[in-house]
Amino acid sequence: DIVMTQTPLSLSVTPGQPASISCKSSQSLLHSDGKTYLYWYLQKPGQSPQLLIYEVSNRFSGVPDRFSGSGSGTDFTLKISRVEAEDVGVYYCMQSIQLYSFGQGTKLEIK
């Protein structure tokens, strides 16, 4: 089974400042088809998760461009260029090269 490890588990950010979340997988997420199956979700308080980023770095429909994803192999990063109040919640990375598994989640709060 592929284990996804996120750091930090929580972070407090001043509005307008950047934020960064790391996600490491126990195995490479690079498929033989050349794609890397790493995704990012945000679960806002009291809501269902929503897809932010697919295949490492592609923003899903309607996701603001302050969100960006990067990485390769086993190391990935989600960055928010300027945090806004509406970005609070728990961020999860997910792999789907071997069925599906999620990271533990990173809780983002506003200072």
Q: How far is the CB of 101 from another protein (least distance, A)?
A: 7
Q: Is 50 in the site for another protein (CB under 8 A)?
A: yes
63 near another protein, rule: CB under 8 A: no
Complex with another protein: residue 6 or 19, whichever CB lies closer = 6
Element (H, E) at 90: strand 89-95
Look-up of token digits 């033989």 = 32
CB of 86 to another protein, least distance (A): 18
Task: Give the number of residues in contact with another protein, rule: CB under 8 A.
Answer: 27
Which string of DSSP letters, residue by residue, matches 39-55?
Answer: EEEEE-TTS--EEEEET
Helix (H, G, I), strand (E, B) or coil at 75: strand
Q: Should residue 79 be labelled a site residue for another protein when binding is judged by CB under 8 A?
A: no
89-95 and 38-43: which strand pairing?
Answer: antiparallel
Q: What distance in Å separates the CA atoms of residue 39 and residue 54, rounded to the nearest whole number?
A: 5
The contact set with another protein (CB under 8 A) reads 1, 31, 33, 35, 37, 39, 41, 43, 48-51, 54, 60, 90, 92, 94, 96-105
